[in-house]
Amino acid sequence: MVKIRRSIVGWIFYDFANSAFATTVLAVIFNRHFAMVVAGGETGTALSLPWGSFAIPGASMWAFLVAFSTLVVAVTSPLLGAIADQASVRKQLLVLCCYLGVAATIALSTIGEGDVTSGAIIFMIANFGFAAGNVFYNAFLIDVSRRESFGKISGIAWGLGYLGGGLCLVLNLIMLQKPQLLGFPEGAFDVGDCMIVAGVWWGLFALPMVFWLKDRSKPKQRLSLVSMTVSGWRRLNRTFSEIRRYRQLVRYLIAYLLFNDGIETVIIMASIFGAVEVGMSAGELVGFFIMVQAAALIGSLLFGWIADRFGNRNTLLTTLLIWIVIVLWAFFLGWLTDPRTEFHLLGALAGMAMGGSQATARSMQASFTPPGQSAEFFGFWSVSGRFASIFGPLLYGGAILVTGGVRPGILALGLFFIAGGVLLCRVDEAEGIQAAVEASSLNNS
């Protein structure tokens, strides 16, 4: 029992660890720094092409960079998952991706004004470590939890992740605005120092995962890197040919791609929206996202509990209705009271919806996944999630480029939530769980 408890704690703590990257780099500090400073803000970055030159606004440049970097993960995730399952190297690949991301995050501390190319390359490496590592991390939910408690365990992990991301942001806020509290003079820290803290935080708090998380799967045989890759391709091809047996899973993955498109775009563009539309400073945005993280912690625990009792699908549909309200409110921001006050109310509501939808989405994927193919199936889930980080930012970045404002694209995000919800209504959760159980029985026979 002790080993099992330690394995659960090790797994959950990785959410606490890597959320520092999600908040400090993707959502709050580096994204704003890249868009507003590195890539030139509203003036943008000049590009010279054979037919002429033009400038891309910093916000669009950041959106396009996120889209391209996640395309790499989307393409490689299923293969990496298949290799991990075939050779039983989920844990090793998780650790490798983790510390690759840690090193690249720390390297982001060197990126300053005009360093668009080097900043983009280092960010892509860091984002690959973060996103690819999550493929293997999420797959362990089946190992550390029983099916009937997927929602609760996933919710606790997400909740602890939001706590970790929030605490890291508190430290960043003190560094940027009140360094005297840490014994340093005013102006002692800058954005680069926050990147170092985020990387060290990720690497340090990932150690419980490194030492305590147990991979219960056993390799069928020792394989070289080439053999693992060949075997992974074969297994991936077999899964593609058989995946039509998992009709509900396929429907769910498409629905997840659609509604997660909206969620991921809101997360990565919210601080830029706050800076442009509300006029919030870097310090104010950090404080804002600390509040969002607290709301997300509550949402993940609450909706994780609801999902185990009333079903993942119905819980997800509830959160999608909340997201539709959020994007409509954001477009008309300022119609009730002053925009700054409304933006904070909107952030609290978005945090609740974000925590609930992300925790429940992972729980639903786990319930549709046969244990013997967890990394592979979560690789497909990651494909949906990563493509969600491609199309949404491309659409939003394009809207900024065409209209010159950050609000017009917000309504388009509502279409993602509506389309995802409509398709999710057609998912039969009971049938999807039964298909996973039957596949598990066949794999074990």
Q: What is the pLDDT of residues 27-52, one digit of tens each?
A: 788 988 898 888 877 776 766 655 65
Bridge partners (DSSP) of residue 48 are: 53
Backbone angles phi, psi at 49, to 5 degrees: -125, 165
**Tokens, residue 93:** 């690949």
Task: Give the pTM.
Answer: 0.74
**Going by C-beta distance under 8 Å and a sequence separation of 6 or more, which residues neighbour residue 95?**
206, 209, 210
Residue 46, helix vs strand vs coil: strand
Instruction: List the one residue out of 93, 118, 94 whose CA is nearest residue 107.
Output: 118
| Per-residue pLDDT, 202 | 97
The DSSP symbol for 105 reads H
Residue 55, helix vs strand vs coil: strand
In DSSP notation, 335-388 reads SSS-HHHHHHHHHHHHHHHHHHHHHHHHHHHHHTS-GGGHHHHHHHHHHHHHHH
Dihedral sign of CA atoms 259, 301, 288, 16 in order: negative
Tell me, what amino acid is at 337? T
pLDDT > 90: what percent of the chain? 25
Length of the chain equals 445
Question: Cα separations (Å) of 179 from 32, 188, 291?
Answer: 21, 7, 21
Spatial distance between the Cα atoms of 329 and 335, rounded to a whole number of angstroms: 9
Spatial distance between the Cα atoms of 255 and 30, rounded to a whole number of angstroms: 30
Give 315's pLDDT tier (boundaries 50, 70, 90): very high
Q: 121-169, pLDDT tens digit by residue?
A: 999 999 999 988 988 888 787 777 776 677 778 778 878 888 898 899 8
Domains and CATH numbers, the chain: 2-42+57-214+240-439 (1.20.1250.20)
Lowest mean pLDDT among 234-243, 352-361, 369-378: 234-243
**Tokens, residue 427:** 């998912």
**Candidate ranges 34-38, 193-197, 384-388; pick with highest mean pLDDT:** 193-197
> Is the pLDDT confidence value at 239 over 90?
no
Burial class (CB in 10 A: 0-12, 13-18, 19+), 90: buried
Lowest mean pLDDT among 68-77, 215-224, 259-268: 215-224
**Going by C-beta distance under 8 Å and a sequence separation of 6 or more, which residues neighbour residue 179?**
185, 186, 187, 188, 189
Give 235's pLDDT tier (boundaries 50, 70, 90): low
Q: 190 or 238, which is more confident?
A: 190
Average pLDDT, the chain: 81
> Is the pLDDT confidence value at 280 over 60?
yes
In which element (H, E) is residue 48 found? strand 45-49
pLDDT > 70: what percent of the chain? 79
Backbone angles phi, psi at 45, to 5 degrees: -110, 125
Give 102's pLDDT tier (boundaries 50, 70, 90): very high
Question: Cα separations (Å) of 151 from 10, 55, 248?
Answer: 18, 46, 19
> Is the pLDDT confidence value at 2 over 50?
no
Give 221's pLDDT tier (boundaries 50, 70, 90): low
Locus of tokens 């704690």: 9
Bridge partners (DSSP) of residue 52 are: 49
**Candidate ranges 48-57, 202-211, 259-268, 324-333; pick with highest mean pLDDT:** 202-211
Lowest mean pLDDT among 230-234, 266-270, 281-285, 343-347: 230-234
Q: 170-188, pLDDT tens digit by residue?
A: 898 899 888 999 999 988 9
* Displacement of CA 199 from its chain's centroid (Å): 16
CB-based contact 67:75 (threshold 8 Å): no
